[in-house]
Amino acid sequence: MKTKITKTISALVLAGSALLALPAANAYQAGDWIVRAGAAGVYPTGDGSIKGISGSKVEADSAWSLGINGTYMATDNFGIELLAAWPFTHDIKCKGSISALGTCAETKHLPPTLTAQYHFNTGPNWHPFLGIGLNYTYFFDEETKGDLKSAGGDLSLDSSWGLALEAGLDYEFSNNWLVGAQVYWMDIDTDATLKIKDLGFKSSGNEVSIDPWVYMISIGYKF
Ligand code: NI
């Protein structure tokens, strides 16, 4: 009986160690690269107005695009991430006293973002992290639309540098593959210049705040 119990226990211990030795993904380690690709959504929270048109308000709509980012783990806990994306195209809504213009412009932009991340060590599968860094947003292909376009409206937006904050969570589900969820807040502000040819109107230095929440859902791979 005693032998049988001993044998059973040894068998259990063996089975247990076999389980522990299974493809156990590790917490991220110094030297790891984590590359993610997925859907990224930019949700602006700010707005702006056009000097010289009292009561005017302009706001950028949300937009989704393809996001790609890569993290390099400099130590087991500290990583550096670069976020890149396919260009986003945002509608710009005219509101307030110029709300009759509706969707009065659109712009494309690229918002590359570099963050320093702290990764918490929570075992093999879940990888939560926080990051802080710098966003650069380059606006291009600004176009006026509708009545504003018909009146010879021309819009240009300056690029922006600002703070970026992020929180993220990767779930490593098998053999270095993971699903990731990240949220960023970015301080993006642009100076808008609006010219309207037919009215001989020009207004520059209009600060428009975008300050978006950026969400990204991705599939990733750890090298
Ligand atoms: Ni801002």
CA of 211 to the centre of ligand 1 (A): 5
Q: Grade residue 97 by pLDDT with cuts at 50, 70 and 90.
A: very high
CA of 148 to the centre of ligand 1 (A): 26
What's the CA gap between 30 and 159, in Å, rounded? 34
CA of 43 to the centre of ligand 1 (A): 13
pTM metric for this prediction? 0.85
The H or E element that residue 199 is part of is none
Q: pLDDT tens-digit profile of 134-163?
A: 999 999 999 999 999 999 999 999 999 999
The H or E element that residue 39 is part of is strand 33-43
Q: Grade residue 123 by pLDDT with cuts at 50, 70 and 90.
A: confident
**Domains of the chain with CATH codes:** 2-222 (2.40.160.20)
What's the CA gap between 216 and 183, in Å, rounded? 6
pLDDT at 95: 97
CA of 168 to the centre of ligand 1 (A): 22
Q: pLDDT tens-digit profile of 52-82?
A: 999 999 999 999 999 999 999 999 999 999 9
CA of 188 to the centre of ligand 1 (A): 5
Helix/strand/coil for 220: strand
CA of 77 to the centre of ligand 1 (A): 30
CA of 49 to the centre of ligand 1 (A): 14
CA of 210 to the centre of ligand 1 (A): 7
Beta-carbon neighbour count of residue 109 at 10 Å? 25
55: closest CA among 103, 86, 94? Answer: 94
